[in-house]
Chains A and B, each alone.
Chain A
Amino acid sequence: AQKVTQAQTEISVVEKEDVTLDCVYETRDTTYYLFWYKQPPSGELVFLIRRNSFDEQNEISGRYSWNFQKSTSSFNFTITASQVVDSAVYFCALSESFYNQGGKLIFGQGTELSVKP
């Protein structure tokens, strides 16, 4: 069965600290996709990144970076030099083989990040 676990329910940091959000997933498919979404206090969902199961390269986008490790079924997200505007709930999500599953997303329960000035 497919599952996404975000063990950290809440994280609080002080501005400029680095912070890592953990994501562990379970799937039997060899082809799958992993996503991170941000949900700021305003409530909308903002897409951050997509990664397919055949691409284990880490990715960096500005202050954001992602570490994908198939050996540990993890897809962790690091924010470097956090800012108050990073305060949000962050969701990790899994999508399995598209033809079988229609691209539907399985979400973790989310990590609420609070960055204090």
Chain B
Amino acid sequence: NAGVTQTPKFRILKIGQSMTLQCTQDMNHNYMYWYRQDPGMGLKLIYYSVGAGITDKGEVPNGYNVSRSTTEDFPLRLELAAPSQTSVYFCASSYSPGGSSYEQYFGPGTRLTVT
């Protein structure tokens, strides 16, 4: 049981390049989330998904796209990378029986630098 896994761990992008951050969970959780953490700050929600085929924007979605074709995978796509997207990206998942908020399980993070 690996929990939430993210790849890559580190990446350096040039301005204008694109990339996909991968996230996979093996806990059969229906909810998945992408957050970003800027230095000295808390996490901010980029996108989330309540199940396969359903996604919605969070607080800071601009410059990103997501898809959820399976329960396990929730990739985050960066198009036309900008220096403002330099951050640590965390993927998380949770299970919500009965509509209650339960703890989110976080992946180890991807440290992205855009130069």
Binary CB contact string for chain A from 39 to 82 against chain B (1 if under 8 A, 0 otherwise): 00001110100101000000000000000000000000000000
- Report yes or no: A35 in contact with B40, Cβ–Cβ below 8 A: no
Known: A43-B88, A43-B109, A45-B90. Contact between A109 and B96, CB under 8 A? Answer: no
How far in angstroms is the closest Cβ of chain B from A116?
21
Bound: A6/B88 CA distance, A? 21
Known: A105-B45, A109-B40, A110-B41. Contact between A35 and B56, CB under 8 A? Answer: no
Bound: A31/B42 CA distance, A? 23
- Report yes or no: B101 in contact with A103, Cβ–Cβ below 8 A: yes
Count of inter-chain pairs, beta carbons less than 8 A: 64
How far in angstroms is the closest Cβ of chain A from B91?
11
Does B105 count as interface, using CB distance less than 8 angstroms?
Answer: yes
Residues of chain B at interface, number, CB under 8 A: 28
- Report yes or no: B31 in contact with A103, Cβ–Cβ below 8 A: yes
Identify the B interface with A (CB < 8 A).
31, 33, 35, 40-45, 48, 50, 56, 58, 88, 90, 92, 94, 96, 99-106, 108-109
Identify the A interface with B (CB < 8 A).
4, 6, 32-33, 35, 43-45, 47, 50, 52, 91, 93, 95, 98-99, 102-110
| 11 intermolecular pairs with C-beta atoms under 8 Å apart | A33-B100, A43-B109, A50-B101, A98-B96, A98-B100, A102-B31, A102-B56, A103-B104, A104-B58, A109-B41, A110-B41
